[in-house]
Structure 1
Amino acid sequence: MLRREVEPEMSRIKAYFLRQGLTRVKVDEYLAQNFHTAGYAGVQIVQSGLGTRVHIYAERPALVIGRRGATIRKLQAVFEKVFGLEGAQITVSQPDNIELNARVQAFRIARSLEMGYHFRRVAMATLRRIMEAGAVGVEIIISGKLSRERARFEKLQAGKVIKTGNVVDVHTDRAIAYARLPLGIIGVEVRIIKPEAAQPNITIKSDSEAADVVRLLEEAGAGQGAEKVKEIIEEGGEGSGEVQAKS
């Protein structure tokens, strides 16, 4: 009987979070289509008993706010009537690090292409600017009718570009933008590996866990890795309680 009572409640909870996620995706797509010229970077939606707080991140917040807040008032009406966000309170600000935001950089490249700049020159300047900001790696792909009627793509890379593993989900920022040119639509993809990916932490909390790590490395045939862990443990001293290794 208890299981029959719990299952409907779990279904309602799952449906609630699915609706929240779907609403956020719709709002994100709407803002990306209408405010790409403002360097739209993302949105955060938080619902509470007092209403819904919508925090919009953009490279140029003034274009999102509008003259005397006219655009903000229109957005509030759209959020309430179209997306069902009751009591929407909108705030706009710049992201923490614009140079490491893939969406901002993709929209920058798209705007530059629409202004008539050469795609390779724009991509190289963006690549250099992102790496100078501290990124581990950058990949920029521009595809379409770049210089003639036949479509092709141009790929530029710098640093270490990681495309597999947990690092992709945690420390990789990826975005796609489109530039509308007389020859057709040009696609821009930007992939940025954040600085946090360069310094993974390995924490060993006790001597017994350290011994288990060494044993597993030896069984896996990682001889050099096992020796390195042993050296780190010996430097930390016996009974140190916690040893951290950074690479």
Structure 2
Amino acid sequence: MLSKDQEYQVFETNEQIVSVTSSMINAEDVIPDTKLSTPGKFYGHYRDRMDMHAPANTVAKYLDSHNEWFGRCAEPMKVQPLGENGYALAIGKFGSFNYEVEPKIGLELLPPEEGVYRIRTIPIPNYTPPGYDVDYRAKMQLVENLAGDSSINSGHITGVEWELDLVVYIHFPKFIHRLPKSLIQNTGDRLLNQIVRQVSRRLTRKVQEDFHQSIGVNFPKKR
């Protein structure tokens, strides 16, 4: 789908810059600065599609039962249910410039309206994000009868077309602000894209495999 299949990892940049920055760090500098500075803002817009070899109503029924498949398809991310349609996800550990974060966000999978599924961020009870905030807004729509692989064609192919607008605000520690703003922005944008790509690719593949297994249609492990 969107990228090479990579598991959780730390994203690092130029070692010389990191080394110089590390030499300037004091103990108090590693604490996110939530009061004295404007948070860094990183934004991405993404879109893709996954094909399901079944009629749209069958795919819709599967998506509506997300409490049965979301947790196992999201592995190795840790998932905790939040109410009827919500989940808390621990994404993994990512970072740069010797500064790491372990994103954890709450997502609500809203019931469809006029055939459109939406996902949005929700607060996680008794949890305060340590120096970051996430605004996640996604929508999915089912488009039936797309061309596909005839070897596994069940007579219908439904494309799940999705779009995601993702904004991340990060209150960096003081030592990060000593770096050029353009370097911080470019590195943050690349890191955000990396996280979305690897999570999206892995989750898409697992959902496809799980769905086709649930309806008894063979779906190749790899293409």
**When the two structures are superposed, what TM-score results if normalisation uses the length of structure 2?**
0.24
The structure that is helix-richer by fraction is 1
Greater Rg by CA: 1
Q: If each structure's strand is expressed as a fraction of its own residues, which one has the higher value?
A: 2
TM-score by length of 1: 0.22
Select the structure with the greater relative contact order (CA < 8 A; seq sep ≥ 6): 2
